Every structure is written in structure tokens, then in C-alpha cells.
Structure 1
């Protein structure tokens, strides 16, 4: 299994990534686009190698593009570079993604890119309504209601979910995280999940990228959706009791990010929201749901701090402020403003 493999140490990380793009079925055109951007970044680093690049190196590269290419192209190049680092981190070849901070600072620019697909809340509501499979709907609704990353979704265990429901609490070991004590109807996203390391008795194959653990409210829609899923969830052989497990291949085993991406791609294709060879500006993916969450919740609340807290993107002093005032400032703001999906 993938959890027992040693982390790759390629001499040419970019070549390794491009080869994997081929294995994943990406078109020659897409592969060539990635290669053009990544090799340009490699040349920009001069004597340094991509693995040792810092977020300041990445910021300098992005800054060097401005004035040379269009703003939308700058955003595309940054997205390519972030995907490269995200993938290499996920497979264990790199320790982290230095583009994370860069992308967060670019959010406003990227969000205004006129080429990016703009899905309205009513359109997203109709999209979700057509998803009938309890697992698939639970995956989509959790991503849309929390803004978490796909790896963070896959790393959720039953102990990370607290719900006010006597039936569920009698049937499952829910909400046993100390961080959830006194915080009903919420879930906990840890910052401690690392590829290849054991957490809650299970070696993880995806990493969480949060600066610190985050408690996210569960509203009535997400609670109902999770209850429908748990009613059919197969028993898992894992001592960690993962929340989301396979119902076809890998029956009862923790879902991995690629499986979730395939689920989202399937429904997005049916909706006309995904095209082979399409980029981040066109295709609806799990990452697009994070963008959707950020954009709509930020516009509705006007509170960038709460949104950054929920996304897990803020520094220690800020996250402490929201953690200590979770009930008033986070929960109330979230419940008053989170969009409805009609589930």
C-alpha cells in the first residue's frame, strides 16, 4: 500500500512531477504548459534547487512576472507552481509548499480574474441536488460548507466530528477530541497530519497544511448530510475510524485525495464544469470549492479574519483570538452568513 512506500528523492523534481502528470492522463499540451512555467522558475532560482526554495523566492519569481505577462497569466503561473509544490509535498518528496503564503496573498487578484469560472450559489445548489450517493454528497457538502483542503477532508476521523444527535452518538465514537469539548456541532481539522507518519493509530497518505488546528462549525445542512452518510458507512479496519471510507474499491478503507478528486470531476463533467486539459480558471475541482467558500463567505460577512481562521491560514496570535471567542465571533458569524445548499 502507498502508506508503506518510502518517500521519493528525485534528482530532477520537475521531471518527476511532469512524468507523474503523464501517468495521471494529462494531455501533452497541459504537460508542456507546466514544463514551460516550472523550467522558467528553475532558471529564475539560478544555483538553488526547487526543493530548497523559500516563500520569498517564490514571491520574487511571481513579482518578476508582473509587467512581462498579463495579470491572469501571473495567476495561472502561480497556480501551476503551487500545484507542483503541493503534489511533491503530498507524495513526500518535499517538506512543504512555499507557495501557500504567496497564493493567499494573491487571493484578491486571482478572485478578480475574469476568466475564472463564476458559479452562483443557486447554480451550486442545483449541482449538489443532483448528487444522490450519500458518500459523494457528504464529500461535496463538507468541502463546500467548510472550505477545507481535500487532504484535510480525507484525514478526518470520527473523533474529529461532534454532532448533537443521540442516535449517532450512541452508534459511533464521535467528537472525542478535547478541542471539541463544549463545542457541539463542530469538527476539528488538525495541523498534525503528515504523509508517512502515524496519527491516531494509522499512517497517513495525505498531509494537512494548516498552521494550527481549527474548530469549524457544523450547520444543520451539513449535520443532516453527515447523518445520511453515517447511516450507510461501512465499518473500517483502521483503528483511527476514518470519517470517509470507500464504498466500492477499497471498501471501508480511508478515502485518499485522488479518489475525492475523481468524484468531484465526475459530477463536474456531467454539469459541464470540467474539461480534460482545462485549467483552474475553467474546471471545478475540490480546490475550487475552497475558493467558492472563501469568496462567498468573505463577501457575506465582510470579516476577513473569521474566514482566514476557518481556512486555517492565520498566525498564532490571530487564531488564539478567534479560538478564545469561538462561540460568539466564529460560530455566530458563520451560522448567520453561510450559504444554504438546500440539502
Structure 2
């Protein structure tokens, strides 16, 4: 009769590591990425026909040569930067498991030292002009999908920030929306109509407005972002068909298929964008940041085009929520002239 595995000797080291990522507050997207890479490595080790050693071994018994051989199999199938990212995931797994005493050593240390590939932290991205993006938006006809895509493109929000929006964070003057919903009830939106309040506080696993959140906002400070006439139009169209919600927090964006009426989660947003980008030829499995259009690309698009149009880096940084206190206070106190007027005079048109 076998003995049960203990925390110091788990049957499934990868599962152990993934569970600890939950405890460390890592997002579902991060955990899914680690799981996909680590299980791929585990399958390589377990399949004699797939690895050059003609044996099946467990991750705990892998040497630097096993790890090096797996990294080599990635070359030619994904971008060099992706090879480096996958290797970094494996390195992190072994380093953590060694640190907590489950494994005796980290075989990836030598592999990382000898690799030529590096993670490209500032990739040269696909260049898409406004007319091309306008045609992309025209093909997105589903009210939820269009509202999500246009919100990301018009505001530069991160995915988590979009998912965390509640109706209290949205001020709209359109009579149809105001007649149906209690919008923009935050004090911070008083006197600032047709705007989003993007908070810095929602965090993964913590309760905000009475609901536990599955994504974190990463803003250094809360920001008020204008809503122009085009964005208001798609939001009103979405609110006209928005299902009854299952949360007292009243999220702005909720599911219309799986998770009907439940707050939209980051993975669903990424899937929406990926689906439409694939249809446009702007997304390829295995493609890197330089090729694929993702929600983060929309943030890059917003930053690049609005900065070029305004010539004002400060306002763009304010809208993105990644500026220091002194700068953000300047724009907050003179919001109407410095932010809304500049934004409305320069924001690109996306609706045909």
C-alpha cells in the first residue's frame, strides 16, 4: 500500500505550484499561461517518442539536458521572444519548487544562462491606421462585443479595468440610458457628465462594491476618462439589450452566452478581441506581440494615435492612469479644459 504524498512531496508538483499561484493572488490569465506551458513540458518528458532520451520521467527528475531539449523543440514553432517567455515560466516553476523544498535544485538555471533568446519587452507592433481600425470596428456588430472593443479603443483601459466597471462608474447624459439605469452615482462624477470613473482600488480576490473581483486595476491613481458621442452611442445600444445582472454591484459589462448576466471576465474579453482579430487576419496562433492584435494592442493604439494628435504626453498619461500625483492633480483640478476639451478635439472617429 503506497503512502500519501505530503506537501513536501506532492504527487503533482505542477498542480502544487499552480495552487500556490492562486494563494499569491496571480490572475486567472497568468495561471492559465503557466499551466499551459508547464503541462506541455510535462507531456514532453512523459512521452519517449517526443523526447530524445527514449524514457518517461517526471518533472522532479528532469536535468538541465531535458529542459534544454524541450526548449529546443519550441524553436521554429513560436517567436524567439515566446521561447524566452516559456523558458522563463519553467525557470520560475523550478526556482519556486526548489525554494519551498519540494525539489532539490533548479535545472533551468544553466539553460537560462546559455539561451540566446530574450523576452522582447518593447516589441515593434503591427502598424494599424485609423481607417483600418474603423473598418475592423464596422465588422463587430454584436452590441456587447462592439461596446467592449470601442471602449478599449477610445479609453486605453486595461482589460481588468474594463471588467471592473460598475454602472455607478459610468455617467451618461443620453435620456434612454438615464431613464432605465441609475448611472454615475459616484461623487467623483458630479459635474462631469459623459465620463468613466476608473478606480485604482479593485484587486483580485478582494470585495469592491459588494462583489469579489476576478481582476485588478493597475492605475496609480483613480482617473476620470471622457466618453465621446461615438462611445456613448455604442454604450447606449449595449445597455438597451444588457441582460438582468446577478450582482448587486451592477457591472456595466456582463455575459450574453456563457455566464449570462454575470460580470464579464478578462479571459472573455480577450476571447472576443481574438475572435474578431482572427477574422481580420490580425491574429495567429503562435504569433507574438509584434503580430497579434489583442486588448493590450488597443491600449498601444490609443496611446500612439492620441499622443500624436494632441502632442500632449501628460494628458495621455493621465488618461492611462500611470502618472505621478503632482501631474494627475493638475489635470484633475482643471479637468474640463485640460482633459475633456483636448480629448474631444483630438479623439479619432471609429464609427462609419
TM-score range relative to shorter protein: 0.7 to 0.9
What secondary structure sits across from 1:77 in the alignment? coil
CA contact (8 A) 1:274 1:282 kept: yes
Q: Report Cα offsets for 1:144-163 as digits up to 9, x if no partner.
A: 00000001000000110001
Paired residue for 1:161, among 159, 164, 170? 170
Matches of residues 6-155 of structure 1 in structure 2 within 5 Å? 8-9=22-23, 18-21=34-37, 29-30=77-78, 32-37=83-88, 76-78=119-121, 110=122, 113=124, 116-155=125-164
C-alpha separation between the residues in 2 aligned to 1:23 and 1:256? 24
CA contact (8 A) 2:152 2:162 kept: yes
CA contact (8 A) 1:37 1:77 kept: no
1:48–1:331: structure 2 CA closer, same or farther, 3 Å change rule? farther
Partner of 1:220: 229
What secondary structure sits across from 2:22 in the alignment? coil
1:8–1:125: structure 2 CA closer, same or farther, 3 Å change rule? same
1:241–1:9: structure 2 CA closer, same or farther, 3 Å change rule? closer
Matches of residues 250-265 of structure 1 in structure 2 within 5 Å? 250-265=259-274
Deviation at 1:34, TM superposition (A): 1.7
1:145–1:48: structure 2 CA closer, same or farther, 3 Å change rule? farther
Moved over 2 A (4+): 5-10, 14-24, 27-33, 35-44
1:6–1:199: structure 2 CA closer, same or farther, 3 Å change rule? farther
Partner of 2:205: 196
1:322–1:23: structure 2 CA closer, same or farther, 3 Å change rule? farther
CA contact (8 A) 2:37 2:89 kept: no
CA contact (8 A) 2:171 2:184 kept: yes
Partner of 2:294: 285
1:235–1:48: structure 2 CA closer, same or farther, 3 Å change rule? same
What secondary structure sits across from 2:248 in the alignment? coil
What secondary structure sits across from 1:307 in the alignment? helix
C-alpha separation between the residues in 1 aligned to 2:264 and 2:35? 24
CA contact (8 A) 2:160 2:215 kept: yes
C-alpha separation between the residues in 2 aligned to 1:137 and 1:16? 26
Q: Report Cα offsets for 1:178-212 as digits up to 9, x if no partner.
A: 11100001011110000111101100000000001
What count of residue pairs does the alignment treat as equivalent?
278
Partner of 1:305: 314
Partner of 1:241: 250
C-alpha separation between the residues in 2 aligned to 1:245 and 1:222? 17
TM-score (norm 1): 0.74
CA RMSD of the aligned region, Å? 3.1
Q: Note if 1:330 corresponds to 2:346.
A: no
CA contact (8 A) 1:190 1:208 kept: yes
Can you give the 5+ residue segments of structure 1 that lack an aligned partner in the other structure? 50-64, 79-109
Q: Report Cα offsets for 1:271-290 as digits up to 9, x if no partner.
A: 00000000110000000000
C-alpha separation between the residues in 2 aligned to 1:245 and 1:128? 20
Can you give the 5+ residue segments of structure 2 that lack an aligned partner in the other structure? 1-18, 25-29, 41-72, 101-112
Deviation at 1:170, TM superposition (A): 1.8
Whose Rg is larger? 2
